[in-house]
Amino acid sequence: MTIIKPLFKMSFTLFIASLGSIFFIYLSLPLPWLLGSIFASAILMRFENLPIQTPKIFSTPARIMIGLTIGSAFTPEILQFLDVYFLSLLLIIPYSILTIILGMYYYHRFIGFDKKTAYLSSMPGGVIEMVIIGEQIKADISKITLVQSSRLFFVVVSLPFIIQYIFHIDISGNKIITTPIINIDLFELTILLFAGTLAGMLAKKVNMSAAFLMGPMIISILLHSSGLIHTPMPDEFLKFVQVVFGTIIGFTFKGVEFKTIVKTLVSTFGHFIILAITSASFIFLASVLFDFPIESILLAFSPGGQAEINLIAILIAANVPYITLHHIVRLLIVMNLAPIFAKKL
């Protein structure tokens, strides 16, 4: 009975969070599975008399699946383009470092965030990944969530308009860029999940930062880049992961006043302007130095999520390997820099 009651509460909470995701899908808003569940659970947790509970029990499996998903992008087909795009990829290093420095200075100096929160808020990485690291170093997760979610929202919403206005390319419609579970090799998926779990446990044993994210990511890179495994994470798994983390993130807003939420959203727009100017500078530089299509360069140096940027790339028939590699390198820089410097802060 003691086990059934918490499971019922978590199931009910995830159900309500999923309804929030469906609501966001209905409104055609970006990142619906993540942002919708954050929105629904942030409202839900204010009603403490309801049978609700944060689903933290699913946190570790979710982290493992995220790490495996990031690593699955390193296919042999993608890696064969490394020599062609090498010099352009080098620009991602100063681009990432500059965006972090400018963002951290902005949030710490002008918005008043503590250094750890300002640091992770400035990172051009994913919402979930930054929250995972933020949990470990005791940063303000609610602020990091708001800032990172708002950044992705501004980027994903503005890019289609920029592309349509400047390049006159139709970006309407929707395509699936992940693989449904019915098309997944279940044997390979089982091996991948088993290897990811072992890698996470080993990483935890050697005290690696974000162990259950980084360990599975490393083993996934090795398995996918060598061609031993071809199976990505199923679409249904990734949606579940987003709802789980969206719900956990939503519960971090407990006790946060509404005016604080609004203030954070407004302050994020200032950071978005800084990001836009920085990105535009590197896009111009890359367009002068390299003979790549400008729309591909635009997407490669956009500080959005890899899945969302790839979706736009597919819709406009841009150079997907070029764009994907740039975002993979940026994510690797962010995921390796974040834990190291976060601990020093």
* pLDDT tens per residue across span 274-293: 999 999 999 999 999 988 88
Percentage of the chain modeled with pLDDT above 90: 20
pLDDT tens for residues 124-159?
876 777 777 777 777 888 888 888 877 877 777 677
Average pLDDT, the chain: 82
pLDDT digits (tens, 9 = 90+) for 309-340: 765 776 666 777 788 788 878 877 877 776 66
Please report, for residues 81, 85, 158, 257, 299, the alpha-carbon distance to residue 320 in angstroms, rounded to integers and kept in the order given.
11, 12, 20, 42, 9
Q: State the Cα–Cα distance between residues 198 and 201, nearest whole angstrom.
A: 5
Scan for tokens 């509460």, then name that residue: 9
- The pLDDT confidence band at residue 2, using thresholds 50, 70 and 90, is low
| 94 pLDDT more than 80 | yes
What's the pLDDT at 212?
A: 86
Lowest mean pLDDT among 83-87, 90-94, 252-256, 262-266: 252-256
pTM greater than 0.75: no
Q: What is the tens place of the pLDDT at every residue in 157-213?
A: 677 677 777 766 655 443 444 688 888 899 999 999 999 999 999 999 988 766 888
Q: Compare 4 and 5 and report the one with higher pLDDT.
A: 5
